[in-house]
Structure 1
């Protein structure tokens, strides 16, 4: 499914709490509830899931950013929604939020999230399935759930150790403190730290760099990397070779080598 016919236009999704801004080969997906600091309600989570499904299906999109409309990425889960749940094992925990995170994680294109001003608790967990994280220098970024009588269970205890190691993950989860941005960069949790007012533009610029590369190579490279921590080495190496062989007969493969030999910029078409 392609996006709307206007390839550089804005598209609201679902109830309007997420939107897609298409910019040539880059798609910017926004949390669009700025009056509530983009706090994640069930409706917002479902709209965001639908937005990622749409960009995943668009063959013209080569990279995706995840951004917050207004001054923050997200204040996290809507606290009133979480407080007023009738059943502890609600659809939010069991279905709606996990579906969003899996959708982000399995999006074909590389994803870049801009973390400005605030991304605590559930918003922190939302950033973990993204491939690249750009963090604001003054952002409130951490897993606070132990201070609220629970612990992060939207993937925080499982995805975070794979990014920073078990010891650092325990520190972040069990202290419930915000992570110092410079420390987050040193431990490999985020890829870049910059001024908060520059976060969105830096995320877009990073995504634009990715858009210059061959889209099929980006997709297969991401698939191989995502399998690395879940697959024994021998099977991982075979999977890597299989994905590489899929590219051997593509026009982009030939274009990449022809361009390098001719000392010109390649013109990749995803074919």
Structure 2
């Protein structure tokens, strides 16, 4: 793996897939400013690589992430502490704006801030025993790293209120039933299944994937008429591409397409 920045994050490069790791296994990948800054740099680096078609977000070691580093959070109550309060929103935005689809692998734990970290990902794989939920209302605050805004878009307002206000862990099977996660797997297979799902995405046309993600992300940000026009605009951008022609020719010739991102 290639360490990024201070080494709190790392990238494992593959042919068409990049695996981005939270890399503080000795601290259960608890997030600090340095770790989050390194993750931003990792996503920016992957986003700029035209050969990468899908990305995974994983935790190095046995746990995805324990959430925010408690020492850092304790310092936040000190008005003189030099804590960058904007870095977490910047990280979530970097994930959301990554052109390639991002698949999160949630093993063993992803509470509070780690839960919010998975929300801008496009797909989520979770282990059967994972501790997954928003606990902030039991800690004197509420989830304000996007939890109250992104979560309702994924599961609906009523279910999001239940998750946020109750402040409890969600059973992984219940998370799948409400559409919050896409697959529930045995704990020991989370990383492998996440990578396999990303590899499956890599088989699709990269330009189609990127424009589809762009259109989907815009769905809740535009009125329907404007969204439909934006969808048509993004589709028109692909009409003269080599991959568009290859996709149809491969189907007519009954063979697998060879997409190049052209």
TM-score by length of structure 2 reads: 0.97
**1:88, distance to aligned residue in structure 2 (A):** 9.4
Per-residue deviation, residues 104-130 of structure 1 (Å, max 9, x unmatched): 011000000000000000000000000
Q: Which residues of structure 2 form unaligned runs of 5+?
A: none
Cα distance in 2 for partners of 1:180, 1:149 equals: 23
| Distance change (3 Å), C-alpha of 1:106 and 1:90 | farther
Alignment-derived partner of residue 6 in structure 1: none
State yes or no: 1:232 paired with 2:236: no
State yes or no: 1:28 paired with 2:14: no
**1:11, distance to aligned residue in structure 2 (A):** 1.3
Secondary structure, in 3 states, of the residue corresponding to 1:58?
A: coil
Alignment-derived partner of residue 100 in structure 1: 91
Q: Where do 4+ consecutive residues of structure 1 move more than 4 Å? A: 88-91
Q: Which residues of structure 1 form unaligned runs of 5+?
A: 1-9
The equivalences for 1:164-203 within 5 A come to 164-203=155-194
**1:230, distance to aligned residue in structure 2 (A):** 1.2
Per-residue deviation, residues 231-252 of structure 1 (Å, max 9, x unmatched): 1111111111100000000010
CA contact (8 A) 2:75 2:83 kept: no
Per-residue deviation, residues 177-233 of structure 1 (Å, max 9, x unmatched): 000111100000000101111110111010001000000000001001111111111
Alignment-derived partner of residue 130 in structure 1: 121
Cα distance in 1 for partners of 2:201, 2:237 equals: 20
**1:89, distance to aligned residue in structure 2 (A):** 10
Alignment-derived partner of residue 12 in structure 1: 3
The equivalences for 1:1-271 within 5 A come to 10-85=1-76, 86-87=78-79, 91-93=83-85, 95-271=86-262
Secondary structure, in 3 states, of the residue corresponding to 2:189?
A: helix
Cα distance in 2 for partners of 1:18, 1:37 equals: 13
Cα distance in 1 for partners of 2:112, 2:180 equals: 15
Per-residue deviation, residues 164-188 of structure 1 (Å, max 9, x unmatched): 1111111111111000111100000
Cα distance in 1 for partners of 2:35, 2:179 equals: 29
| Distance change (3 Å), C-alpha of 1:88 and 1:146 | farther
